[in-house]
Amino acid sequence: MGGDHAPSAVVEGSARALARSSDSLSIVLTGDEEAIRRELGRIGFSSPRLVIHPTTQIVQMTDRPSQVVATKPDSSLVAGIRLVKEGIADGFVSAGSTGAVLAASLMLLERIPGVKRPALGAYIPARPSGVMLCDVGANIDVKPDYLLQFAIMASEYMRRVYHVAEPRIGLLNVGSESTKGQKVYVETHELFAKYLPTFAGNIEARYVLDGKVDVVVCDGFVGNNLLKFAEGFVVHLAARIAEGVKRFGDFDPASQKMTSLLRNVMREFDYEEYGGVPLLGVNGVCMVSHGSSGPRAMENSILAAFEAVQSNLVPSIREDITASVRAVEEAT
């Protein structure tokens, strides 16, 4: 029931994901049963792999995130996370309030042992190869050891879900020298150099999309601003180009060609394509989709969550974090 287009985008996205995936994917939809059935009727979809878990409450954007587990226990959001906690579901996907998903996941799924702070990683499907930016908003204030774990968790995500064998890690910074940036970044550079064999050094924001690294680590304040700026940028740019193409006239073949070209290019930067951002570091797969997600974004979020489950993302992160905690202890 979360997101601007609930429940239709969620229901239609689920149907699409089921159609595109193997038999091993099943989906439990938590929410208003009648509304869900209506949507299923509208798109003419039914499947034994789609189950409804009826709930009665809805988390609103005005609800305080830290309160929803207590005040909205029978919301689609809290009930869904609880299904993961109880082992009935393997992963959770939501287009609802990011803050509420974060708070409820932390409370119900809890942190993976050793994880200091869970983080949100945004996958940007830019060519030549996609890149994960982490953190993009879960942690406004960070410490070097948090950032070290963000690097480890995001790398594991790239390895599992995008099959990058040895993800190269960059530390977002204003220059390549190890002495650049805020104090926490200088200390983090040192830590990364010591503990991350695939650390490729600082990376300036202008090279983030160039495919030089697979993971870019930063604090959630910078990461969130970067991601949102890019989002605004794409909207802005697309509007300007569309405006110009429109002036060509509808029947100009140039208009048609360009519209389709632009659609393809913009797709690289469109959250619809990648769908959700994983919350890394909790005991369960948890995917937060953009509030304005349409069916395609929901489909992609669900499939990414499915891939994360199938590839053992959470157990792998658990092992990595344990190993990292041990390595740091041994060195100090």
Which amino acid makes up residue 243?
A: E
Among 41, 113, 232, 315, binds its own copies (CB under 8 A): 232
Stretch that binds its own copies, among 56-64, 106-114, 204-212, 292-300 (CB under 8 A): 204-212
Rounded to a whole number of angstroms, the minimum distance from the CB of residue 36 to its own copies is: 31
Nearer to its own copies, 113 or 175 (CB): 175
Report if residue 103 touches its own copies, rule: CB under 8 A. no
Among 20, 210, 319, 326, binds its own copies (CB under 8 A): 210
Q: How far apart are CA 218 and CA 148, in angstroms?
A: 10
Report if residue 113 touches its own copies, rule: CB under 8 A. no
Q: Which two tokens stand for residue 319?
A: 């092992």
Rounded to a whole number of angstroms, the minimum distance from the CB of residue 139 to its own copies is: 10
Report if residue 293 touches its own copies, rule: CB under 8 A. no
Report if residue 235 touches its own copies, rule: CB under 8 A. yes
Size of the site for its own copies (CB under 8 A): 51
Among 20, 38, 228, 326, binds its own copies (CB under 8 A): 228
Among 204, 312, 319, 323, binds its own copies (CB under 8 A): 204
Among 241, 291, 325, 328, binds its own copies (CB under 8 A): 241
- 140-199: which residues touch its own copies (CB under 8 A)? 140-141, 172, 174, 181-183, 185
- Total residue count of the chain as it appears in this document: 332
If you ran DSSP here, which 8-state letter would residue 291 be given? T
Stretch that binds its own copies, among 58-66, 150-158, 220-228, 297-305 (CB under 8 A): 220-228
Instruction: State how far the alpha carbon of 205 is from the alpha carbons of 171, 187, 209, 275, in Å.
Output: 10, 19, 8, 22
Q: How far apart are CA 8 and CA 14, in angstroms?
A: 10
Instruction: State how far the alpha carbon of 185 is from the alpha carbons of 173, 217, 279, in Å.
Output: 8, 10, 22
Among 221, 296, 310, 316, binds its own copies (CB under 8 A): 221
Report if residue 269 touches its own copies, rule: CB under 8 A. yes
Q: Which residues contact 153 (CB under 8 A, 6 or more apart)?
A: 115, 119, 121, 134, 280, 281, 317, 320, 321
Nearer to its own copies, 45 or 207 (CB): 207
Report if residue 245 touches its own copies, rule: CB under 8 A. yes
- 313-332: which residues touch its own copies (CB under 8 A)? none
Contact 126, 206 (CB under 8 A): no
Report if residue 137 touches its own copies, rule: CB under 8 A. yes
Report if residue 200 touches its own copies, rule: CB under 8 A. no
Among 114, 268, 291, 296, binds its own copies (CB under 8 A): 268
Q: Among residues 40, 7, 20, 56, which one has the least CA distance to residue 304? A: 20
Burial of 155 (0-12, 13-18, 19+ CB in 10 A): buried
H/E element holding 121?
strand 119-124
Rounded to a whole number of angstroms, the minimum distance from the CB of residue 213 to its own copies is: 13
Contact 12, 27 (CB under 8 A): no
CA atoms within 13 A on the CB side of 93: 32
Instruction: State how far the alpha carbon of 160 is from the alpha carbons of 211, 215, 222, 304, in Å.
Output: 18, 13, 26, 10
Q: Which two tokens stand for residue 110?
A: 């809890």
Nearer to its own copies, 163 or 206 (CB): 206
Rounded to a whole number of angstroms, the minimum distance from the CB of residue 229 to its own copies is: 4
> Which parts of this chain interact with its own copies (CB under 8 A)?
126-127, 137, 140-141, 172, 174, 181-183, 185, 204-210, 218, 220-222, 224-233, 235-237, 240-241, 244-245, 248, 252-254, 257-258, 261-262, 264-265, 268-269
